[in-house]
Amino acid sequence: MASVWESLTVDARDPARLARWWAEALGYQVVTEQADEVEIRQAPDRLPGIVFVPVGDDKQVKNRLHLDLRPADQEAEVERLVDMGARHVDVGQGDVGWAVLADPEGNEFCVLRQRG
C-alpha cells in the first residue's frame, strides 16, 4: 500500500505572510490559519497542500528541496513574481533555461520555460 502525499511543509519566520505570498503566486487559497500553521491548497478538498510553520531563525543555506513552476510565459511570470517580492538568486546554476528566484524569506524556486 502506497502513501498519499498530504503536504509540503515550509519553515517560515512569518508563516501567514509567506503563505499568502505563495497563495497569490500559485493561485491557491488559504484553507487553514492557526498560530502554529497556515495551509494553502488549490481548493479546500484538493491535495497536496503547502503548510507554513513558524521557526525562530532565518534560512541559512541553499534549499535541498524546491518547487519548479512552469508558466505559459516564463518571462512574464518571472516579472510578476519579482514585482510581488521575489528576487533573482544564483545557486551556481550557470547558463540554463530556467530562472532561479527566492521568495520573500529566501526560499529558492525555479521558473521553467514552457514545454516545447
The span from the CA of 108 to the CA of 69, in Å, is 11
Residue 57's pLDDT is 86
Domain boundaries 1-56, corresponding CATH code: 3.10.180.10
pLDDT of 116 > 80? The answer is: no
CA distance 59 to 55: 10
User: Around Cβ 31, how many Cβ atoms within 10 Å?
Assistant: 18
**What is the rounded average pLDDT of the residues 48-73?**
92
Total Cβ atoms within 10 A of residue 10 = 23
Please tell me the CATH code under which domain 59-116 is placed.
3.10.180.10
CATH 3.10.180.10 positions along the chain are: 1-56, 59-116
Grid coordinates 514552457 are at which residue? 114
